[in-house]
Amino acid sequence: MTTLSDPPHADGFRLSLLVRDKRYRSYTFQAIALIALFVFFGWLASNAIRNPVLQQAGIDFGFLADPAGYDINQQPIPYTSQSSHLRASFIGAINTLIVAFLACVTATVFGVFAGVLRLSNNWIVGKLMALYVEMFRNIPVLIWILIIFTISANVLPQPSAFRGDDPEASPILGVAALTNRGFYLPRPYFTNGIGAVPDDVPADGGAPVAQEVASIANWLIVLAVFAASFLAVRGVNAWATKRQNATGRRPSTFWTNLGLWFVPIILTLLILGLRWEVPELRGFNFQGGILARNSLIALWFALSIYTGAFIAENVRAGILAISRGQTEAAAALGLRPGRVMSLVVLPQALRIIIPPLISQYLNITKNTSLAIAVGYMDLTGTLGGITLNQTGRALECVLLLMAFYLVFSLVISAVMNAYNASVALKER
Amino acid sequence: MAMTDTDTATPQMEISDEVAIEIRNMNKWYGTFHVLRDIDLTVHRGERIVICGPSGSGKSTLIRCINALEEHQRGSIVVDGTPLSSDLKNIDKIRSEVGMCFQHFNLFPHLTILENCTLAPIWVRKIPKREAEKTAMYFLEKVKIPDQANKYPGQLSGGQQQRVAIARSLCMRPRIMLFDEPTSALDPEMIKEVLDTMIQLAEEGMTMLCVTHEMGFARQVANRVIFMDDGQIVEQNEPEAFFKSPRNERTRLFLSQILGH
Amino acid sequence: MSDTHAESVAFVRESVIPPAPPPAKEAGAIRWMRENLFATWFNAILTLVALYLIWVLLSGVVPWIVNGTWQGSSLAECREILQGNGGGCFAVLRERWPQLLFGFQYPDYLRWRPVLAFFLLFVAVPPALFVMFLPRWTLIVTAIYPFLAYWLIWGGTILTPLFAALGVVAGYLAFSFTERRGFVLGLAAGVVTALAVWWIGGLLAGEFSRFLRLEAVVSRAMGGFMLNLVLGIVCVSLSLPIGILLALGRQSSLPVVKGFCVVFIEFVRGVPLITLLFVANVVLAFFLPPDANFDLILRVIIMITLFASAYIAEVIRGGLAALPKGQYEAADSLGLDYAQAMRLIILPQALKISIPGIVNVAVGLFKDTTLVSVISMFDLVGMIRGPILASTAWAGIYWELWAAACLMFFVVCYGISQYSQWLERQLQTDHR
């Protein structure tokens, strides 16, 4: 009598068992699959070895240390054309993250607004939002980027238009100038912080490294205060909940929280001596401040408004997915509409909205690679663009480029999985 | 085991000495959880066995093991002389001899009733389509829904769907039928039509293993009732004796709960 | 409440109350406006803001269209005709229309061929889209179309697509004759037969290359919106079977197969399409035989297909996961083997669930075909950015060209997504 735990048939091992027997079958198929994979990748590798170009150049990442020899027009950290390709790539990566972060924030704002407004019972607003969503979802994002870039480069005034006694254009509120080269914005700096610069000498682009570090340290202080405020507010809310549980009455926390949010941060900024360096027109161009190139602006705005349309649909679907029954049940229990929203609908809707939202953030990050179409120097523009063309190291550059995006995506996916797991736990 | 009791409504039927299913010392674990412990069970051809027990007692797992839907880890199962081993040929042979009905019917929603019934005969038994359709209509008539043959499962009531599922199994001409709680997903008024079909099947001498809580059915049809708890066979007996004088404390408790109201 | 209740519980109605119209002020357009536009003061503000926005949009767009001119052969001439009345210079569309559609290298006297292929699309696609309403035999038209379209667009002897089609048919026949003896055997027989027919066909097509010959057009000459359509249609069609295999592989219990599929899918989904196009442009050639002639468009098709198949695999995986476990068990208990269970029971249902997702991927992919303009291929966007805006006659004209591009993509993508929603509704009411 045979059982699953018995050794193979007593009458000996037959070759047909390799395919027929559940125990060996999977090994057989996997062996075949492995052989097929090896043959395929071996074929690719042998082609690569026989390739004359690769034979001559080999695979070598040493070029990263060589001077890049090209300029980058948007430098979040110091860089000259004598810096290495590695540093150029690094700047590209930072630029990628900057525009990705900005676009994620604004896309969320657009998306939530449009999604909620589309559900409003105002007929005309609902239709307008539907128009927005359909229009942006059905036209390639590359076209949007190019259109917005074209507008900013051709419709906005030149810096010289701000000149003269009766200029054709004037800066918004006297501090921010929107020109066809980009947006000139005021730059914040500290006069009393660590490594402070005297008030009358604004730090310029070529600040020494020590000053850069000091400036970062000052911003870290601001961030720390902000985090402390956040924790304090959470503490106050926890206290309020405790009081509510104990006495049945929830103490009003609105003014306390408002104070906790704003008073510490304003004080910190005052103590550090926050000043704004306003861009000034000198000659035919603006000096000082921050210049956000119109390539950045176009990419940022186009990605936000394009992805916003998708997020709007996610938000709408999330809210619609909460059945009417939930709202009615909460209302029947006597909760007021605000509480129905915050206690019943939103917690459930967020659970549905957040996973697709995060994958939209991933899409934004991947779509920032379209920067190359408008000349914004992100990682694809530096490493995958000029560095690749100058050094001819196609294989190495593309590998590094893919590795960067891949790592970033995997990290975000891990975060998303962790979130899903935590939500799933709460469900039980 | 022969039928002696003639007082009950149990129809008199021949039970041969031929063994249909032989389970010896069978054990199964889910991870570290021991679901089936030392199961020994011999089913003769023509026997009708009802398995009952509290939920989680392993009764469904037992009959799913017989059809190789679950793998057991120790012990042996022999169906119609074919040992259930890891050899796919044996598994296929056993599956084509053993029909199975599920709690949730598991009809294929994208196929019509007729296609549901002819699918396996055509692809597994390699029977010509026309013949398979004839067989299917024969069994659909037997379960009294030939007029629904060209509808889709979603258009039928639960009771009708379960009867189609029975007909679908019968189309493979099985020698043994397994039922996994066939009536527990049905509305009360539909239970009877399914039970009637099963009784009819029993009267024709089909070897049947039913996991069910329908004690009326057990009394009327079964010639053996098995009570399982904690993955073990706690008690088995002829229905009359089983219901009248259960010997094990756990059986008594279970019967009082299930029949008490 | 009422007297009847006070006196006794028993009550019998003896007269019928006729339905009455609602109070007068509750009906009509004013009511509609009050409820839908001015329900609250906040709502009223929203309405006014929306109306203002619409006014701004219309006041810009309407004169641009109404006053626009279709005359003139350069921007300067256009401006002269318009006299600054705010109209658009649509003459550029009239003059460059063939370029926008076909690129600037496709021989102009052969343009009738892609046009014919395009219109045949409307004959070939409906059988697949409306499969539940049309007789099944019409699918033959759909099946013939790819080969016919290839012949029309690329030209050459008809023997090439003919034998390609014959190979597929012969392979399928060999498969269905031997399938009863086992799926793997049938598959092997099918593949061998198809390869044999293709090999013979290759020889014959080489030998009789003038047989029923259309003038050949090289891939490099493809351009304009035609390139977007070709890339979109070809890559989506090719990625469907690959996506199905990847999804099944990812569900597989074999660690090697599953591992490969997971790594492939996650890798492709983790990198931007542009990097894959870079691979097609500058890297892929290293890994292909040095003497083989894979032109850029073919390499791009390979990479976009791989890209799309990873996304389609994820959609189909969702469909597979949505099927109740009972379907797998019922198939098992009836004795169906893996290939039969998948082909007859699981995939038909899983694919049906996945259709909306697949259509979404298809729309996304079609939009993404514009990215090839980054690696200097002249699709619609590439044509606008490159040859047209760089020409001396039309430099400085943007709105009209981009509006045309937007309109073309919008019509196609919106059409497809509307179809998908319609299909979703159909499937919801279908048999279930």
Which DSSP string do the residues of C250-310 spell out, in sequence order?
HH-S-HHHHHHHHHHHHHHHHS-HHHHHHIIIIIHHHHS-TTS---HHHHHHHHHHHHHHH
CA-to-CA distance for A194 and A177, rounded, in angstroms?
Answer: 30
Higher per-residue pLDDT: C44 or A175 = C44
What tens digit of pLDDT does each residue of C345-385 get?
A: 999 889 888 888 898 899 999 999 999 998 888 889 998 88
- pLDDT tens track for A367-410: 999 988 888 888 888 888 888 888 888 888 999 999 999 999 99
Chains that touch B (3 or more CB pairs under 8 A): A, C
Complex ipTM value: 0.86
The total number of structural domains in chain C stands at 1
For the residues of C169-205, what is the DSSP string, one character each?
HHHHHHHHHHGGG-HHHHHHHHHHHHHHHHHHHHHHH
Residue C178 near chain B (CB below 8 Å): no
| Amino acid A145: pLDDT | 93
Our CA-based measurement puts residue C214 at a distance from the nearest CA of chain A, in whole angstroms, of: 34
Q: B192-210: b or e for each residue (b if 16 or more CB lie within 10 Å)?
A: ebbbebbbebbeebbbbbb
Q: How far is A211 from chain C (nearest CA, A)?
A: 36
- Residue-level pLDDT at C424: 78
Does C26 contact chain B (CB < 8 Å)?
no
Phi, psi at A250, each rounded to 5°: -95, 120
Residue C140 belongs to some domain of the structure: no
* Cα C267-C268-C272 angle, rounded to 5 deg: 110
Section A418-423 average pLDDT: 79
Helix (H, G, I), strand (E, B) or coil at B30: strand
With CA atoms as reference, the chain A residue closest to C414 would be: A138
Do A250 and A203 meet the contact criterion of CB atoms below 8 Å apart? Answer: no
CATH 1.10.3720.10 residue ranges of chain A are: 72-160+292-408
| pLDDT tens for each residue of C262-275 | 999 999 999 999 99
pLDDT value of residue C67: 82
Give how far C134 is from chain B: nearest CA, Å.
Answer: 18
Pairs of residues, one from chain A and one from chain C, whose beta carbons lie less than 8 Å apart: 152
| CB-CB contact of A226 with A265 (8 Å) | yes
User: What average pLDDT score do residues C187-215 get?
Assistant: 82
Among residues B33, B63, B71, B9, which one has the least CA distance to residue B203? Answer: B9
Share of residues in chain B with pLDDT > 70 (%)? 94
Q: Which of A53, A315, A236 is nearest to C290 (CA)?
A: A53
How many whole angstroms separate alpha carbon B218 and alpha carbon B225? 7
Which of A2, A11, A13, A14 should one mutate to test binding to chain B, selecting the residue with the greatest count of B CBs within 10 A? A2
Please indicate, yes or no, if residue C145 is contained in any of the structural domains.
Answer: no
Only one residue has tokens 């939202």, namely: A357
- Enumerate residues 6+ apart whose C-beta is below 8 A from A336: none
Whole-angstrom distance, CA of residue B52 vs CA of residue B216: 12
What span, in angstroms and rounded, lies between the C-alpha atoms of A311 and A354?
Answer: 10
Band of pLDDT at residue A211, cut at 50, 70 and 90: low
Q: What is the pLDDT of residues C4-18, one digit of tens each?
A: 455 567 777 777 888
Q: Hey, which of A209-213, A282-286, B100-104, C2-6 has the most confident mean pLDDT?
A: B100-104
- Maximum CA pair distance of chain C? 105
Burial of C376 (0-12, 13-18, 19+ CB in 10 A): exposed
**Contact partners of A by the rule of 3+ C-beta pairs under 8 A?**
B, C
pLDDT digits (tens, 9 = 90+) for A126-174: 899 999 999 999 999 999 999 999 888 887 777 777 776 667 667 776 6
| B216 and A CB contact within 8 Å | no
B86 in contact with chain A, both atoms CB, cutoff 8 A: yes
B and C: number of Cβ contacts within 8 A: 65
The answer to the question of residue C1 being in a domain is: no
Q: Would you say the C-alpha torsion A192, A193, A195, A197 has a positive or negative sign?
A: negative
The answer to whether position C291 is within a domain reads yes
The widest CA-to-CA distance across chain A, in whole angstroms, is: 106
Cross-chain Cβ contact A367/C272 below 8 Å: yes
CA–CA dist A280, A174 (Å, integer): 10
For residue A233, what are its two tokens? 């507010």
Contact A146 C406 (CB under 8 A): no
Q: For all residues of chain A together, what is the average pLDDT?
A: 81
| Cβ count within 10 A of residue B188 | 7
- Cross-chain Cβ contact C413/A138 below 8 Å: yes
Instruction: Return the amino acid letter for C165.
Output: A
The answer to whether the Cβ–Cβ distance between B110 and C349 falls below 8 Å is yes
Chain C residue with the nearest C-alpha to that of A54: C286
At C97 the pLDDT is 87
Length reported for chain A:
428
Instruction: Determine the Cα–Cα distance for residues B67 and B63; give it in Å rounded to an integer.
Output: 7
What percent of chain C is modeled with pLDDT above 90?
25
- Contact status, residue C156 vs residue C180, Cβ threshold 8 Å: no
User: What residues of chain C, 333 to 352, have a C-beta less than 8 Å from chain B?
Assistant: 333-337, 340, 344-345, 348-349, 352
Q: How far is CA C123 from CA C117, C240, C274, C404, in A?
A: 10, 21, 34, 26
User: Which residue of chain B is at minimal alpha-carbon distance from C183?
Assistant: B123
Q: How far apart are CA A384 and CA C275, in angstroms?
A: 8
Q: Provide the token pair at B76.
A: 């042996």
Q: Is the dihedral angle over the CA atoms C182, C184, C185, C189 positive or is it negative?
A: positive
3-class SS at A293? strand
In a domain, C139, yes or no: no
Q: Chain A residues with CB inside 8 Å of B73's CB?
A: 4-5
Which residue matches tokens 């010997």? B247
CA dist., res. A55 & res. C75, Å (int): 51
Place of tokens 């005052």: A270
Residue C405 has pLDDT above 70, yes or no: yes
* Residue bearing tokens 């990625």: C239
Q: What is the pLDDT of residues B23-68, one digit of tens each?
A: 999 999 988 888 999 999 999 998 999 999 888 888 999 999 998 8
Question: What is the least distance, in Å, from the CA of C414 to any CA of chain B?
Answer: 29
Nearest to A372 among C50, C51, C274 (CB): C274
C68 belongs to a structural domain: no
pTM for this entry? 0.84
Q: What is the CATH number of the domain that holds C234?
A: 1.10.3720.10
Q: How far apart are CA A343 and CA A49, in angstroms?
A: 63
> What residues of C are in contact with residue B108 (Cβ under 8 Å)?
327, 330, 345, 349
Interface test with B, best of A4, A9, A24, A27 (most B CBs within 10 A): A4
What's the rounded Cα separation, in Å, for the pair C215 and B133? 53
Q: Kindly report, residue by residue over C281-337, the tens digit of the pLDDT.
A: 888 888 888 777 778 888 899 999 999 999 999 999 999 998 888 999 999 999 888
- Using the beta-carbon criterion (under 8 Å), do B110 and C333 form an inter-chain contact? no
Q: Do A398 and C283 touch (CB under 8 A)?
A: yes
Range name among A194-203, B51-60, C233-242, C380-389 with the lowest pLDDT average = A194-203
Inspect the interface and report whether the beta carbons of A3 and B88 lie closer than 8 Å.
Answer: no
CATH superfamily of A72-160+292-408: MetI-like (1.10.3720.10)
pLDDT at residue A209, as a whole number = 55
The rounded percent of chain B whose pLDDT value lies above 90 is 29
Among residues C274, C272, C245, the alpha carbon closest in space to that of C257 is found at: C245
Report the gap between the CA of A352 and the closest CA in chain B (Å).
28
Q: Which of A64-73, A79-88, A280-289, A319-328 is least confident?
A: A280-289
CA dist., res. A223 & res. A216, Å (int):
10
Q: How many CB atoms lie within 10 A of CB B189?
A: 10
Q: What is the pLDDT of residue C130?
A: 75
Would residue C29 count as lying in a domain? no
Determine the residue among B69, B86, B108 to mutate to test chain C binding: the one whose Cβ has the most chain C Cβ atoms within 10 Å: B108
Which residue is associated with the tokens 């066995």? B49
Long-range contacts of B3-11 (CB under 8 A, 24+ apart): B3/B223, B3/B238, B4/B238, B5/B238, B5/B240, B7/B240, B8/B219, B8/B220, B8/B239, B8/B240, B9/B219, B9/B220, B10/B219, B10/B220, B10/B221, B10/B222, B10/B223, B10/B239, B11/B202, B11/B203, B11/B221
Dist CA B14 CA B20 (whole Å)? 14
Interface residues of B toward C, Cβ cutoff 8 Å, are 67-69, 92, 95-96, 98-100, 102, 104-110, 119-120, 123-124, 126, 152-155, 168-169, 172
pLDDT averaged over chain B?
Answer: 86
Is B141 at the interface with chain A, CB within 8 A? no
Phi, psi of C254 (to 5 degrees): -85, 115
- C-chain residues near A121 (CB < 8 A): 35-36, 39, 43
Q: Which domain holds residue C404?
A: 221-432
* Nearest chain A residue to C281, by CA: A394
Look at strands B176-180 and B98-101 and give their pairing.
parallel
Contact between B70 and B77 under an 8 Å Cβ cutoff? The reply is no
> Which residue in C has a C-alpha nearest to residue A368's C-alpha?
C272
Q: Concatenated DSSP letters for C64-105?
A: HHHS-B---SSHHHHHHHHTTSS--BTHHHHHHHHHHHH-SS
* Phi and psi at residue A201, to the nearest 5°: -115, 90
DSSP B187: -
What rounded mean pLDDT belongs to chain C? 84
Give chain A positions within 8 Å (CB) of C269: 409
Q: Which of C270, C398, C410 comes nearest A405 by C-beta?
A: C270
- Please tell me which of the candidates A2, A17, A23 has its beta carbon nearest to residue B83: A2
Burial C33-71 (b: 16+ CB within 10 A, else e): eeebbeeeeebeebbeebeeeeeeeeeeeeebeeebbee
What is the structure's pLDDT at A413?
85
Which has the closest alpha carbon to A424: A342, A362, A373, A355?
A355
